[in-house]
């Protein structure tokens, strides 16, 4: 039916590229948001992870009022701004994967927060600028693609990677311990092979043990009263945290791909005289 209505038109290749890129935006922004507080909470503490999530959201909220200033005063085109944001997102995610302290986490997630700030609204703006005849239809489709990508690809994909890397880390450290803590059901994602991460219930008990020991040691008045975390629990916890770090590094490949696309778009628009919004009449003349 759609083919008949559109006379089987292929449509605009540029708009198709924007749709595909916005799927990556949904995966790296909303998909990562679903995991970032859990990952940073595992590396640091749960309360610190929640604070960092709220903090990055506040950074985004404030900066989204500055897009017009950046475009008019600094001179970055919307596509140039997207390229800069992609680079910042790469740096931020890579830095977050090496977090050891709360202060460093604040710096790393500030960079990541600034990077992801303008992805979603600027992508919608580019579609609106370059394809004014599509009206709200293209923007709605683009938003839907981003939301579906976050729910179907972003969060599940990061969960799959977390299981993959955590299981690999523990199996390399001690295969017998890995067999004891392995999730027997396994995890699947799209067409990738099934992986066997760590059992969530058993990992939760390990984390509870570690928290209890640390809490008891804080109250201890002498070294003799202090307890030690079992080597097995330390090994499992380390594998989980290392899996979180590996997941963040893998996640940075998404904005890296986006950066390449945005760079090509910058070159494309420069070749046609620079980026500018099109009016309805100009869109008719250009064939957009």
- Say what the pLDDT of residue 6 is: 52
- How many folded domains does the chain comprise? 1
- Say what the pLDDT of residue 8 is: 47
- Say what the pLDDT of residue 21 is: 92
Task: Tell me the angle at which helices 119-130 and 13-26 cross, rounded to the nearest 10 degrees.
Answer: 170
pLDDT by residue for the chain (288 residues), tens only, comes to 545 555 545 557 888 899 999 999 988 887 777 667 667 767 777 778 788 888 888 888 888 887 777 777 777 888 998 999 999 999 999 998 888 888 888 898 899 989 888 898 889 988 888 888 877 888 888 888 988 888 778 788 888 888 899 999 999 998 998 898 888 888 888 888 898 888 888 888 888 887 887 777 777 777 676 778 788 888 988 898 889 889 889 999 999 999 999 999 999 999 988 888 777 665 555 555
- Say what the pLDDT of residue 11 is: 54
Inside any domain, residue 143: yes
Inside any domain, residue 257: yes
Inside any domain, residue 34: yes
> Given phi > 0 = left and psi -120 to 50 = alpha, else beta, which region is 229?
beta
Inside any domain, residue 7: no
Inside any domain, residue 199: yes
- Say what the pLDDT of residue 89 is: 93
Inside any domain, residue 5: no
Which distant-in-sequence residues (6+ apart) come within 8 Å of 155 by Cβ? 30, 31, 34, 35
Inside any domain, residue 3: no
Q: What is the CATH number of the domain that holds 23?
A: 1.20.1250.20
DSSP-derived pairing of the beta strands 187-189 and 192-195: antiparallel
**In which domain, by residue range, is 281 found?**
12-286
pTM metric for this prediction: 0.83
Inside any domain, residue 45: yes
Which distant-in-sequence residues (6+ apart) come within 8 Å of 115 by Cβ? 85, 86, 87, 88, 89, 90, 91, 92, 255
């Amino acid at each position: 039916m759609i083919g008949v209505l559109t006379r089987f038109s292929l449509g605009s290749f540029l708009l198709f590229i924007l749709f595909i890129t916005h799927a990556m935006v949904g995966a790296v922004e909303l998909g990562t948001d679903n995991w970032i507080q859990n990952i940073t909470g595992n590396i640091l503490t749960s309360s610190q992870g929640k604070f960092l999530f709220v903090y990055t959201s506040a950074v985004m909220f404030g900066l989204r009022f500055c897009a017009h200033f950046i475009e008019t005063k600094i001179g970055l085109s919307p596509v140039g701004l997207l390229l800069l944001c992609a680079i910042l997102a790469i740096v931020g995610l890579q830095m977050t994967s090496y977090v050891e302290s709360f202060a460093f986490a604040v710096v790393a997630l500030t960079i990541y927060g600034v990077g992801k700030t303008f992805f979603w609204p600027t992508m919608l703006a580019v579609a609106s600028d370059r394809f004014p005849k599509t009206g709200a239809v293209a923007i709605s489709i683009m938003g839907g693609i981003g939301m579906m990508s976050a729910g179907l690809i972003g969060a599940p994909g990061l969960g799959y990677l977390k299981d993959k890397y955590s299981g690999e880390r523990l199996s390399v450290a001690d295969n017998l311990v890995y067999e004891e803590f392995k999730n027997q059901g396994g995890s699947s994602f799209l067409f990738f092979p099934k992986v066997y991460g760590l059992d969530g219930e058993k990992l939760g008990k390990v984390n509870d043990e570690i928290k209890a020991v640390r809490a008891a040691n804080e109250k201890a008045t002498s070294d003799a009263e202090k307890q030690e975390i079992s080597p097995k629990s330390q090994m499992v916890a380390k594998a989980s945290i290392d899996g979180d770090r590996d997941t963040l590094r893998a996640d940075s490949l998404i904005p890296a791909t986006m950066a390449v696309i945005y760079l090509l778009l910058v070159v494309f628009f420069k070749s046609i005289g620079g980026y500018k919004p099109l009016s309805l009449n100009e869109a008719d003349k250009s064939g957009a």
